Amino acid sequence: MDQLLFWLVPVASVLALCFALYFHREMMKESEGTPQMVKIAAAVRKGAMSYLKQQYKIVGWVFVGLVILFSVMAYGFGVQNPWVPIAFLTGGFFSGLSGFLGMKTATYASARTANAARHSLNAGLRIAFRSGAVMGLVVVGLGLLDISFWYLLLNAVIPVDVMTPTHKLCIITTTMLTFGMGASTQALFARVGGGIYTKAADVGADLVGKVEAGIPEDDPRNPATIADNVGDNVGDVAGMGADLYESYCGSILATAALGAAAFIHSGDTLMQFKAVIAPMLIAAVGILLSIIGIFSVRTKEDAKMKDLLNSLAFGTNLSSVLIVIATFLILWLLKLDNWMWISCSVVVGLVVGIIIGRSTEYYTSQSYRPTQKLSESGQTGPATVIISGIGLGMLSTAIPVIAVVIGIIASYLFASGFDFSNVGLGLYGIGIAAVGMLSTLGITLATDAYGPIADNAGGNAEMSGLGEEVRKRTDALDSLGNTTAATGKGFAIGSAALTGLALLASYIEEIRIGLTRLGVAEIHSGGEAISVQDATFFDFMHHYDVTLMNPKVLSGMFIGSMMAFLFCGLTMNAVGRAAAHMVDEVRRQFREIKGILTGETEPDYERCVAISTKGAQREMVVPSLIAIIAPILTGLIFGVPGVLGLLIGGLSSGFVLAIFMANAGGAWDNAKKYVEEGNFGGKGSETHKATVVGDTVGDPFKDTSGPSLNILIKLMSMVAIVMAGLTVAWSLF
Amino acid sequence: MDQLLFWLVPVASVLALCFALYFHREMMKESEGTPQMVKIAAAVRKGAMSYLKQQYKIVGWVFVGLVILFSVMAYGFGVQNPWVPIAFLTGGFFSGLSGFLGMKTATYASARTANAARHSLNAGLRIAFRSGAVMGLVVVGLGLLDISFWYLLLNAVIPVDVMTPTHKLCIITTTMLTFGMGASTQALFARVGGGIYTKAADVGADLVGKVEAGIPEDDPRNPATIADNVGDNVGDVAGMGADLYESYCGSILATAALGAAAFIHSGDTLMQFKAVIAPMLIAAVGILLSIIGIFSVRTKEDAKMKDLLNSLAFGTNLSSVLIVIATFLILWLLKLDNWMWISCSVVVGLVVGIIIGRSTEYYTSQSYRPTQKLSESGQTGPATVIISGIGLGMLSTAIPVIAVVIGIIASYLFASGFDFSNVGLGLYGIGIAAVGMLSTLGITLATDAYGPIADNAGGNAEMSGLGEEVRKRTDALDSLGNTTAATGKGFAIGSAALTGLALLASYIEEIRIGLTRLGVAEIHSGGEAISVQDATFFDFMHHYDVTLMNPKVLSGMFIGSMMAFLFCGLTMNAVGRAAAHMVDEVRRQFREIKGILTGETEPDYERCVAISTKGAQREMVVPSLIAIIAPILTGLIFGVPGVLGLLIGGLSSGFVLAIFMANAGGAWDNAKKYVEEGNFGGKGSETHKATVVGDTVGDPFKDTSGPSLNILIKLMSMVAIVMAGLTVAWSLF
């Protein structure tokens, strides 16, 4: 029965891919509109694809380097699992593929959405949302497919006779984690590179176009406008897809590894197997419910803005409610020990995700006081807008942190049978809460990817000179996307924190395996020698003295906190530099190419696209490499306690910093929109100019540095896990 | 011999106070200049004093509340040391007194400095610097006086017969720590209140005066100009004084407590006594060397800017070099175990302080590339200035963090005899490094307090219509102050981090005492029962499971990181709100009082002073109370592991955040000055306007939120220490 249940996982993943293909085909049947619309869409598509090609080339070299390193470690020195190099590669490949497919669909969908919006709002919504759903389903489908594939493969090839079945599952699950590192590495480059690209183009386009030349957004006279639209695709679609692919797989794999570890002592191989497949099953059921949710999104033909929002909310809420019921059902079917309370941990994760999303909405939507007051502060100029926005962003960290803390404690207590000393099951509870949060990713990601598609549709409509009415409809779709994005961000950031915690525990498991591989049989805890195989989390903490009074732990924590800031600083500066190049180019075109501003000559869009591409490529390498090198170096210098300090310092500071940056950026964006809606003087007033400064500052906050931190948190953990063997070997050496 | 050596401590403290009095008298003999100068100085003095009176009133109520709470805990429930309420009061009193005396001197000195500058640069420097020295010497003098007084008193009144002498010193030193909490509480209100006051006035004056009305800084036509000058005194003098008084005492007391704890097992009471008085002796010698350094600051009559800088640098460098030699000497005289290596720990602290100061200078001075590039980014408008400044500030956290990490490890290893497991002595080493960093506070604080005096002198010269030449001299003095302030900030922030770490260890000592008071005889570590008296730091860590896998520790860390951001957000918003009131008032005066801008009518300065005072009073309460309540609540909910997590999370995030904010703010300030020096278009250009926005945003960064974080870090630890008895009692209950 249980073995049979497992097959739900590959089935659900294939189903997700089939529906993705179906939605893609349906969308492709629609018309792309006028020749001008087709031309613009093609230009954006070409720019996006050429960027992605460049990015994959650079990332390819990084992968080659890392695979060589892993191979030397695995086959040369034997401090690494022999499957690691291959698993690492597939993780990177599938993560990249998710981004690629999602982006390809998005670039085909934008003109079609704009064209459909010529007929009705509802038609536009349908195309944009279902194209977003392609991305959502591809991510979850490929993720679970990769997981099933490796699970079945490793199960078949790892011989049972060299170890007990109990330990076999531990080896399998921790090996699978390394494909998570492949996904993380790909995701980091996608997020950082895409984030720099999109904001360099955006800031460049705004500074010269809007501020200096005084032409509106997406105006075809602005040379950077195609690059700006390309940026939405490479940053918000491909980057976001790779990011969430990684969170999704990371949380499932970390939880599976924790499940294997939690039952290592009991010798109950059946229960261990159940604990391993439980997160996969929840994810599989989540896929099915996401598909149902996606189909439930429809509106009346004469839908108003509010109806649109309600229909999207209906879809996600339906999936959320159904997953709660389905979780209890599936864990009961599985007859997992303590299934009822573990199901409650899943619910905790879902609820925390929703709370963070709501809190984000409260702090960043112009429907609420905080953002309205931010607009008001624009009356005293740009300086007060910046001060108030930073203040707002910092205050907005309180609710999400408290929600996560309550979530940690509650999911831990539920899963551990209300016993704080039952660390193994408690941590499993935290992991499964992360899985719960991401279980309906298929549909939440659809609402997220929908945003940039609607945004691009608006750009296309504007540049193709479609009527006022059409532009108004695409604006409504765009604005809806901004609201749903808030919830999506909450899930991305909350899941990063919980997944990061679950990965910490996996790190300890990896240390156990590393010690075993090196022939170390015993560790010391409280003066006693304990066999490595039987040692608990506590024993490892005591053996390595991972307490808060160990200067190595403290040093690691300081470095971890610093890493979060350093990484943000590097990406902020990267956007600044890349944007400056764009500004120079746009100014040059206005100066040298006559007739651009009168609309007689077409600007040289391609050069701007090339500049953004080059800038992003150049700038993404240093921050990404630092994220990979820091945990390795810390491990070599400070050993296991230093690495754990680094990870937790990075996690706690990075999480808070990420929320601060995302919310400050979001609030600045909407504060500007609130003024544009006619408040405090409206468009063109001094207050408006002040809020435009806030919006420009907020761009790298919310779309480059903030989201990249999510991945930094997870990637550092992943690197630590994969390098655990080296750390252990080095400290023994 | 050793007992004799101790008397050096009170003698040095009295000597410091005598020299402070001497410098004060010398300064008072000088002329205050023209009647207009006298009038302006009197107005500033009156405003400053009336602010301080208001502040002490509110702080008084908070102290009454806390003393009642402590009394109930001590005399009612017996979960608190009976000396705590009184010690707490004296700490608050002396901290306030330091600020008061320093500020009184500063407000008398500014007009005299301006007047002396009419004759020569050198005369101006002499008065301003020696008046700053009054503050430096009052702080260290009162600090050591309070320490000697309590040491002698407790030594006399605590009966030997109830406990072994070994434990007696532990009781004495941990009791004395509670006067540190009094100082912290006072300091927090002084920093937060003063910081809000000064920046509300500054931002208000700049936004309406400079930006809207187009009149220069310190122009008498600006109604907020007196309030602005008052702000420099209450924020940068009184606030800084209370802050560093607290750091100074905190580091000495925490190290003394660690010294008492480190020798608790050996039963060697003599060595324990030596370890306790060693930090006091280093501080005492530091006072004597500071006085020598202060006297060594002289320049030639025709001194240039560079000579001035050199002469100040000569004084501080002389003191630093001498203290290194003196430390080896005094610890050798004391015959402290391992004296040579412990002296090396002192040197480590000094070096770390200097590195942080140099790094601050590099990132914030317009003589170096980072700030110059920041000015350059002004060419593309205010948004890029903000983006680049935030990027710069974040990058600038790397060097200080790495310096502190190396400092932690080196001082720990030196003092522990290169044995990581010798936690007691290792932590003592970290504490003594903090003492080393602050040992020459007498002179470093003098160079710091000198800054606002020179600034006010400039203001006075401008408002009194003194000639161009005089204004140029006061500008030179002011600019020198900005440079020396960088080093001062390095010491303030670095010492906060190291003191924070030392206080963590004191917290464990306080837990030990709390358990003893409650009659708990044994704790459990690694399955064994160990007597509370003999338990090591490790044992406490194991008993309470303060490891990184405990969800309570993790929760505490998340909350700690969040506290740093929340606190900053609250203070940023407070400045924003208070500044908005000031803007409204200044606009009202320009509108309603005719003839202000033509210079015919005098504006209503006093109303602006009153508005700033009121704003600061109202706004300082919430952030300050949150800082006090958070550790208490965390202790009640999550117990000892949660509190330690909170403290370390707050320490690591807060330290990095504080450096980021201070450096970003400093760089914005100087980027504006660099443009004003004629680069990128000079004064009045668009680039200049963009950098003015940066400067305004940087004001609360560098003068309100950033410095307040230093105190937040220490205050949370102090509160945790004082409340340790309650936490323990509650968790047993």
Residue B677 lies inside a defined structural domain of this protein: no
Question: A502 touching B, CB under 8 A?
Answer: no
What's phi and psi for A515, nearest 5 deg?
Answer: -65, -45
CA distances to B110, B367, B368, B474, B480 from B307, in Å: 22, 17, 20, 15, 11
Contact list, B420 vs chain A (CB under 8 Å): 550-552
pLDDT computed for residue A285 by the predictor? 95
Residue B289 CB partners (closer than 8 Å, separation 6+): B318, B319, B322, B323, B326, B440
Q: Which of B547, B569, B573 sits opposite A547 (nearest CB)?
A: B547
SS3 B531: strand
Helices (H) and strands (E) in chain A, counts: 23, 2
B407: nearest CA in chain A? A555
pLDDT computed for residue A169 by the predictor? 85
- For residues A424 and B166, what is the distance between their CA atoms, to the nearest angstrom? 42
Residue B660 lies inside a defined structural domain of this protein: no
Contact list, B653 vs chain A (CB under 8 Å): 561, 652-653, 656
Residue A452 lies inside a defined structural domain of this protein: yes
Identify from B547, B550, B703 which residue to disrupt to test chain A contact, counting A C-beta atoms within 10 A and taking the largest count. Answer: B547
Flag if B388 and A576 touch (Cβ within 8 Å). Answer: yes
- For residues A103 and A239, what is the distance between their CA atoms, to the nearest angstrom? 9
Residue B1: is its pLDDT beyond 70? no
Q: Which two tokens stand for residue A274?
A: 């159940």
Flag if B546 and A545 touch (Cβ within 8 Å). Answer: no
Identify from A557, A562, A637 which residue to disrupt to test chain B contact, counting B C-beta atoms within 10 A and taking the largest count. Answer: A562
Residue B584 lies inside a defined structural domain of this protein: no
Question: B163 touching A, CB under 8 A?
Answer: no
pLDDT computed for residue B663 by the predictor? 94
Closest CA to A220 of A455, A48, A37, A477: A37
SS3 letters for A389-412?
A: HHHHHHHCCHHHHHHHHHHHHHHH
Residue B201 lies inside a defined structural domain of this protein: yes
Flag if B386 and A697 touch (Cβ within 8 Å). Answer: yes
Structure-model confidence comparison of residues B328 and B366, the more confident one: B328
Closest CA to B103 of B239, B218, B202, B245: B239
Contact between residue A187 and residue A216 where contact means Cβ atoms under 8 Å apart: no
Percent above pLDDT 70 for chain B: 98
Widest CA span in chain B: 84
What's phi and psi for B529, nearest 5 deg?
Answer: -90, 130
CA distances to A16, A258, B272 from A90, in Å: 19, 22, 61
Q: Which of A508, A526, A580 sits opposite B542 (nearest CB)?
A: A526
Other CB atoms within 10 Å distance of the CB of residue B72:
13
pLDDT computed for residue A620 by the predictor? 87
Contact list, A408 vs chain B (CB under 8 Å): 551, 554-555, 558
A506: nearest CA in chain B? B549
Residue A716 lies inside a defined structural domain of this protein: no
Contact list, A207 vs chain B (CB under 8 Å): 380-381, 383-384
DSSP for B175-221 reads HHHHHHHHHHHHHHHHHHHHHHHHHHHHHHIIIIIIIII-PPTT-TT
Q: Which two tokens stand for residue A708?
A: 């990249």
Residue B635: is its pLDDT beyond 90? yes
Could you identify the residue written with the tokens 């660390």?
Answer: A423
What's phi and psi for B343, nearest 5 deg?
Answer: -60, -35
- For residues B136 and B446, what is the distance between their CA atoms, to the nearest angstrom? 5
CA atoms in the 13 A half-sphere facing the CB of B404 = 34
- For residues A374 and A357, what is the distance between their CA atoms, to the nearest angstrom? 20
Q: Average pLDDT for residues B217-240, to the nearest whole number?
A: 86
SS3 A2: helix
Q: For B579-600, give one letter per residue: b (16+ CB within 10 A) or e.
A: bbbbbebbbebbeeeeebbeee
Ranges of H-type helices in B335-397: 339-364, 369-377, 382-395
pLDDT computed for residue A136 by the predictor? 94
Segment 266-325 of chain A within 8 Å of chain B by CB: none
ipTM score for this prediction: 0.94
Question: A653 touching B, CB under 8 A?
Answer: yes
Residue B668 lies inside a defined structural domain of this protein: no
Flag if B391 and A501 touch (Cβ within 8 Å). Answer: no
pLDDT computed for residue B241 by the predictor? 87
Contact between residue A581 and residue A611 where contact means Cβ atoms under 8 Å apart: yes
| Total count of domains within chain A | 1
- For residues B174 and B716, what is the distance between their CA atoms, to the nearest angstrom? 16
Percent above pLDDT 90 for chain B: 49
CA distance B202 to chain A (A): 13
- For residues B676 and B371, what is the distance between their CA atoms, to the nearest angstrom? 13
Flag if A528 and B528 touch (Cβ within 8 Å). Answer: no
Closest CA to B16 of B24, B4, B27: B24
A555: nearest CA in chain B? B405
Contact between residue A502 and residue A345 where contact means Cβ atoms under 8 Å apart: no
Q: Which of B409, B570, B576 sits opposite A551 (nearest CB)?
A: B409
Residues with pLDDT less than 50, chain A: none
Contact between residue A209 and residue A222 where contact means Cβ atoms under 8 Å apart: yes
pLDDT digits (tens, 9 = 90+) for B174-206: 888 888 889 999 998 998 999 999 888 888 888
B553: nearest CA in chain A? A548
pLDDT computed for residue B61 by the predictor? 93
pLDDT computed for residue A306 by the predictor? 75
- For residues B564 and B553, what is the distance between their CA atoms, to the nearest angstrom? 17
Flag if A557 and B203 touch (Cβ within 8 Å). Answer: no
pLDDT digits (tens, 9 = 90+) for B443-494: 989 988 888 899 899 889 988 888 888 888 888 888 787 777 767 777 888 9
Flag if B558 and A401 touch (Cβ within 8 Å). Answer: yes
- Contact pairs from chain A to chain B, CB under 8 Å: 285
DSSP for B55-97 reads HHHHHHHHHHHHHHHHHIIIIISS-S-TTHHHHHHHHHHHHHH
Contact between residue A412 and residue A243 where contact means Cβ atoms under 8 Å apart: no
- First vs last Cα of chain B: how many Å apart? 48
Residue A476 CB partners (closer than 8 Å, separation 6+): A121, A305, A308
Question: A678 touching B, CB under 8 A?
Answer: no
Question: B258 touching A, CB under 8 A?
Answer: no
- For residues B556 and A301, what is the distance between their CA atoms, to the nearest angstrom? 51
Question: B681 touching A, CB under 8 A?
Answer: no
A527: nearest CA in chain B? B526
CA distance B181 to chain A (A): 22
Identify from A207, A646, A653 which residue to disrupt to test chain B contact, counting B C-beta atoms within 10 A and taking the largest count. Answer: A653
Q: pLDDT tier at B163 (50, 70, 90 boundaries)?
A: low
What's phi and psi for A176, nearest 5 deg?
Answer: -60, -30
Q: Which of A394, A551, A568 sits opposite B565 (nearest CB)?
A: A394
- For residues B239 and B192, what is the distance between their CA atoms, to the nearest angstrom? 8
- For residues A176 and A180, what is the distance between their CA atoms, to the nearest angstrom? 7
**Residue B528 bridge partners (DSSP):** B525
Question: A382 touching B, CB under 8 A?
Answer: yes
CA distance B630 to chain A (A): 12
Could you identify the residue written with the tokens 């390394």?
Answer: A178
CA distance A658 to chain B (A): 11
Q: For A85-96, give one letter per residue: b (16+ CB within 10 A) or e.
A: bbbbbbbbbbbb
SS3 A533: coil
Could you identify the residue written with the tokens 């839908």?
Answer: A303
Q: Which of B559, B570, B657 sits opposite A401 (nearest CB)?
A: B559
Closest CA to B634 of B643, B621, B644: B643
Question: B429 touching A, CB under 8 A?
Answer: no
- For residues B533 and A727, what is the distance between their CA atoms, to the nearest angstrom? 37
pLDDT computed for residue A490 by the predictor? 76
Question: A686 touching B, CB under 8 A?
Answer: no
Contact between residue B61 and residue B130 where contact means Cβ atoms under 8 Å apart: no
Ranges of H-type helices in B677-723: 686-700, 706-722
Residue B162: is its pLDDT beyond 60? no
DSSP for A151-210 reads HHHHHHHS-STTS-HHHHHHHHHHHHHHHHHHHHHHHHHHHHHHHHHHHHHHHHIIIIII
Residue A283 lies inside a defined structural domain of this protein: yes
User: In terms of residue numbers, what domain contains B232?
Assistant: 1-512
For CA atoms A169, A172, A178, A182, the dihedral sign is negative
B379: nearest CA in chain A? A580
CA distance B501 to chain A (A): 9
Segment 698-717 of chain A within 8 Å of chain B by CB: 700
Q: Which of A203, A549, A697 sits opposite B541 (nearest CB)?
A: A549
